Amino acid sequence: MKANVKVIEHPLVKHKLSLLRQKERSTNSFRTLISEISMLLAYEVTHDLPLIYEEIETPLAKMRAPLLEGKKIVLINILRAGSGMVEGMLRILPSARIGHIGLYRDPETLGAVEYYFKLPGEMADRDVILVDPMLATGNSAIAAVERVKTASPRSLKFVCILAAPEGLANFHESHPDVPVYTAAIDERLDEHGYILPGLGDAGDRLFGTK
């Protein structure tokens, strides 16, 4: 089940995630931590981007130097909580293009309902990083990946900050080909579909809307 999941074990990520979980953390600090963790996750998730070698000139000599190959990466923000992650990732991928998917969770069925979808052009030549801080039931992630697959990107990865085992199992059943990167896998979901021990409602904590 975990074959296509990578847990980012970096001590900085672990430390920042523990701070993020604390219930007394302010909105400002929560936002900053989401951004910092996302930056570190972006570094890990881009480890296998293809390179090409081109001739450049330093002040002293010509050389063949490695540069990222292909069209700009696309970060896809699963609204609204994905926004905080996109902001952090953009700090190390400043030229990335941004897509948006609007999904809300039906409180009765916990199923994902789409209300917005907009991606950049030329997706077949682009690598996609789809972001949502919480992989809980997996329903939104599954729906988002289904939608993004219709654009046939060159590659597709899903990045979250916390995942529940139930959500991961659900996700892998639908999309075994899509790797998931996460900062941690928590214990389980509660009866409302929240991750335990988790960090609460990521969107509310990010935007101060509780």
Residue 167 engages ligand URA in binding (rule: CB under 6 A): no
Residue 13 engages ligand URA in binding (rule: CB under 6 A): no
**Helices 11-21, 27-45: crossing angle, 10 deg rounding:** 150
Q: Which two tokens stand for residue 192?
A: 């409302």
Closest contact distance (angstroms) between CB of 62 and ligand URA is 51
Please check whether residue 170 is in contact with residue 138, taking contact to mean a CB–CB distance below 8 angstroms.
yes
Residue 201 engages ligand URA in binding (rule: CB under 6 A): yes
| CB closer to ligand URA out of 43 and 194 | 194
Residue 82 engages ligand URA in binding (rule: CB under 6 A): no
| CB closer to ligand URA out of 80 and 175 | 80
| CB closer to ligand URA out of 138 and 179 | 138
Name the DSSP letter for residue 175.
-
- Looking at the chain, list the stretches that DSSP marks H as alpha helix, in order from N- to C-terminal side: 11-21, 27-45, 82-92, 139-149, 165-174, 202-207
Q: Has 97 been annotated as catalytic?
A: no
Residue 134 engages ligand URA in binding (rule: CB under 6 A): yes
Residue 101 engages ligand URA in binding (rule: CB under 6 A): no
Residue 203 engages ligand URA in binding (rule: CB under 6 A): yes
The size of the interface with ligand URA (CB under 6 A), counted in residues, is 10
Residue 185 engages ligand URA in binding (rule: CB under 6 A): no
Torsion of CA 19, 97, 180, 106, to 10 degrees: 80
Q: Has 204 been annotated as catalytic?
A: yes
Q: Point out which residues pair with 104 in neighbouring strands.
A: 113
3-class secondary-structure state, position 170: helix
Please tell me the distance from the alpha carbon of residue 127 to that of residue 71, in angstroms, as a whole number.
8
Which one is catalytic: 106, 109, 188, 209?
A: 109
Binding site for ligand URA (CB under 6 A): 81, 134, 136, 193-195, 198, 201-203
